[in-house]
């Protein structure tokens, strides 16, 4: 009897403790993601849904409404899709000089951020004084203008990076970004670089920092001053202070799908949290039957949500058509507009396919992709080899990693012809090393003590429970000359110069004294 009473008392004491109450009591969380980049949102939204499933009240500001069942604690605030105005066609941007490419992408992103902040729906939401949040989630990628949301709601701020952080974000968040072993994702370098590659990598990193700090930093600051109208926006701190207020950064990265690099304790890698198994019950029966009955296997062909395969020049389309015609495998080709003339019987085209389901199907043998990060993660989640046609941003970086680790082949569109494509497909399908290497990388990716989703949720809830993260990297509060120890090097150099000068003068003075004594002795 005493034992039973002790258990009841113990459970009561635990249930009434602050620790349990802080975990079980749902927080008000704002996910502010008005950018019209579906590939980014689709990578983050599973976390928003999971937080809602775990009892938190999650308000999501976005142009995209989640598909399927949504928890009652998930509240979607729709905003117009402002669309990203393309400065250059994706088919041509791959030939653009790297610095120009970088500037074009940064400029497009900054302009798009600006267009979201002037939306009536966004202003109405931010000006609503009834809204109160315990935590704010935003995307941090080539614009810091959304950092003001932490000030708006006096709440801790979580940054989410859709890919490996660029130099600018690394600097602002205190992440080491040494150009000797951290390749820029604008380049197709690995982490093992020759002297010339390290030289160029350093130049690109320096160019990105200069362009970001001189041009885009000013643009972001102007957006803070001019575009926010919420109560108290006049007292919003400058960008430097807002950057230092970031408490947690969730990075869509992992050393099994990108090059290893150091991260401070408040930067957490969560690559793969968007990959959730899609059951066959949620897939069209005819489509499932097609994959299940593919005795020779399936090849999936997609360039993601931002690049339309239907925009390919006709000569490239004919190469793919004629190459696929020779195959015994079924080819599922994501084609966005109209039809394709003289299509082989083994090729099926559609505007949309359930990509995660296809890649995880036992009969899928090959993924032909543009090399986007989510596509890479989803392929490696199931140990699937790749053929990649990179276009811009991190796609060259990603495919270099794939080639270096032996689970895929990179092809430039400029060098594409029937023989090149035939040879690449044959190698992937019949050289088992590609599949074995992909499976090895997959094993490493999946062999983690805690899932990426649980890690992300824990990190967010830890911040809710404990508030300010006292383990934030001190480098976040350092200026650029302090971070690169420029002031220390100048001090050491000045002292060495002074010592050298004193020694030089002393030796000269001693020589004069010796010469005078010699003359007197004579």
pLDDT of residue 154: 93
Tokens of 336: 């966005």
Residue 475: per-residue pLDDT: 66
pLDDT for res 516: 66
The tally of CA atoms less than 13 A away on the side-chain side of residue 394 is: 21
Task: Name residues whose C-beta falls within 8 Å of residue 485's C-beta, 6 or more positions apart in sequence.
Answer: none
Residues 233-258 have a mean pLDDT of 88
End-to-end CA distance of the chain: 116
pLDDT more than 70, % of the chain: 86
Of 84-93, 220-229, 299-308, least confident by mean pLDDT is: 84-93
d(CA 329, CA 208): 44
Q: Compute the distance between CA of residue 36 and CA of residue 414 in angstroms, rounded to an integer.
A: 30
| Residue 74 vs residue 102, higher pLDDT | 74
85 band by pLDDT with thresholds 50, 70 and 90: low
Query: Where residue 10 falls among pLDDT bands split at 50, 70, 90?
Result: very low
The band of 96, judged by pLDDT with boundaries at 50, 70 and 90, is low
How much is the pLDDT for 21?
39
Q: 142 is written with which tokens?
A: 């080539």
Would you say residue 476 has pLDDT above 80? no
Q: Distance (Å, rounded) from C-alpha 389 to C-alpha 383?
A: 19
pLDDT of residue 110: 86
- What pLDDT is stored for residue 13 in this prediction? 37
pLDDT at 121: 95
Confidence at residue 467, expressed as pLDDT on a 0 to 100 scale = 76
* Alpha helix segments (H runs only) across 269-386: 285-292, 314-325, 355-360, 373-381
Whether residue 372 contacts residue 350, with contact meaning beta carbons closer than 8 Å, is answered with no
Q: Taking residues 97-113, report their average pLDDT.
A: 78
Model pLDDT, residue 120:
94
| pLDDT tens column, 298-309 | 999 999 877 888
Give the whole-angstrom CA distance, residue 369 versus residue 355.
11
16 band by pLDDT with thresholds 50, 70 and 90 = very low
For residue 327, what pLDDT band results from cuts at 50, 70 and 90? Answer: very high
Phi, psi of 191 (to 5 degrees): -80, -5
Higher-confidence residue of 171 and 93: namely 171
Q: How far is CA 54 from the centre of its chain?
A: 25
Dump pLDDT digits (tens) for 330-370.
999 999 888 898 999 999 999 888 888 899 999 999 999 99
pLDDT above 60 (res 281): no
The pLDDT of residue 323 is above 70: yes
Higher pLDDT, residue 510 or 471 = 510
The answer, yes or no, to whether residue 413 has pLDDT greater than 50, is: yes
Q: In whole angstroms, give the CA distance from residue 160 to residue 84.
A: 20
List strand residue ranges (DSSP E) for 353-418, in order: 364-369, 386-388, 408-410
**Average pLDDT value for the chain:** 85
pLDDT confidence band for 474 (50 / 70 / 90): low
Give the three-state DSSP class for 35: coil
Q: What is the mean pLDDT of residues 287-316?
A: 88
How many CA atoms does the CB half-sphere of 265 hold within 13 Å?
8
Residue with tokens 């019987």: 345
- In this prediction, residue 14 has a pLDDT band, given cuts at 50, 70 and 90, of very low
CA 455 to chain centre: 17
Q: What is the mean pLDDT of residues 294-317?
A: 89
Comparing 2-16, 62-76, 125-139, 258-272, the range with the smallest average pLDDT is 2-16
Q: Is-contact 326 319, C-beta < 8 A?
A: no
**pLDDT value at position 213?**
80
24 — pLDDT class (breaks 50, 70, 90): very low
pLDDT band at 392 (very low <50, low <70, confident <90, very high): confident
Residue 468 DSSP class: S
**Backbone φ/ψ region at 477: left (φ over 0), alpha (ψ -120 to 50), beta:** alpha
């Amino acid at each position: 009897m005493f034992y039973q009473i002790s258990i009841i008392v113990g459970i009561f004491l635990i249930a009434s403790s602050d620790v349990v109450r802080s975990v079980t009591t749902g927080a008000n969380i704002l996910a502010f993601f008005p950018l019209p980049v579906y590939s980014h949102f689709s990578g983050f939204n599973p976390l928003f849904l999971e937080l809602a499933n775990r009892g938190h009240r999650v308000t999501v500001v976005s142009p995209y409404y989640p598909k399927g069942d949504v928890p009652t604690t998930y509240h979607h605030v729709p905003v117009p899709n402002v669309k990203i105005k393309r400065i250059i066609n994706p088919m041509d941007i791959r030939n653009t000089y790297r610095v120009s490419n970088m500037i074009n992408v940064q400029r497009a992103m900054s302009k798009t951020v600006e267009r979201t902040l002037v939306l009536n729906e966004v202003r109405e939401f931010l000006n609503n004084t009834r809204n109160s949040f315990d935590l704010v989630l935003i995307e941090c990628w080539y614009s810091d203008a959304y950092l003001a949301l932490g000030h708006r709601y006096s709440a801790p701020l979580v940054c989410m990076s859709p890919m490996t952080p660029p130099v600018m974000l690394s600097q602002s968040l205190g992440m080491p970004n040494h150009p000797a072993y951290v390749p820029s994702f604008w380049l197709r370098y690995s982490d093992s670089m020759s002297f010339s590659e390290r030289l160029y990598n350093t130049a690109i990193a320096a160019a990105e920092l200069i362009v970001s700090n001189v041009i885009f930093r000013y643009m972001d600051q102007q957006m803070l001053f001019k575009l926010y109208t919420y109560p108290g926006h006049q007292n919003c701190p400058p960008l430097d202070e807002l950057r230092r207020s970031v408490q947690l950064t969730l990075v869509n990265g992992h050393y099994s799908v990108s090059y290893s690099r150091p991260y401070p304790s408040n930067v957490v890698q969560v690559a793969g949290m968007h990959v959730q198994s899609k059951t066959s019950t949620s897939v069209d029966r005819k489509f499932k039957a097609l994959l299940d009955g593919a005795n020779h296997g399936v090849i999936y062909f997609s360039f993601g949500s931002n690049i339309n395969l239907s925009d390919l020049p006709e000569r490239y389309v004919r190469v793919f058509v004629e190459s696929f015609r020779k195959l015994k495998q079924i080819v599922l080709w994501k084609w966005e507009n109209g039809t394709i003339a003289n299509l082989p019987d083994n090729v099926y085209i559609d505007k949309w396919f359930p990509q995660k389901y296809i890649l995880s199907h036992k009969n899928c043998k090959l993924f032909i992709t543009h090399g986007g990060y989510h596509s890479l993660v989803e392929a490696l989640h199931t140990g699937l080899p790749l053929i990649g046609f990179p276009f811009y941003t991190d796609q060259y970086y990603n495919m270099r990693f794939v080639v270096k680790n032996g689970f895929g082949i990179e092809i430039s569109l400029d060098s594409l012809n029937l023989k090149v494509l035939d040879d690449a497909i044959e190698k992937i399908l019949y050289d088992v090393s590609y599949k074995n290497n992909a499976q090895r990388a997959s094993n490493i990716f999946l062999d983690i003590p805690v899932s990426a989703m649980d890690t992300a949720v824990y990190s967010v809830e830890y911040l809710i429970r404990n508030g300010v993260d006292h383990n934030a990297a001190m480098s976040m509060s350092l200026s650029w000359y302090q971070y690169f120890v420029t002031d220390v090097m100048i001090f050491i150099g000045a002292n060495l110069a002074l010592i050298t000068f004193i020694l030089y003068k002393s030796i000269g003075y001693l020589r004069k004294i010796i010469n005078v004594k010699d003359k007197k002795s004579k």
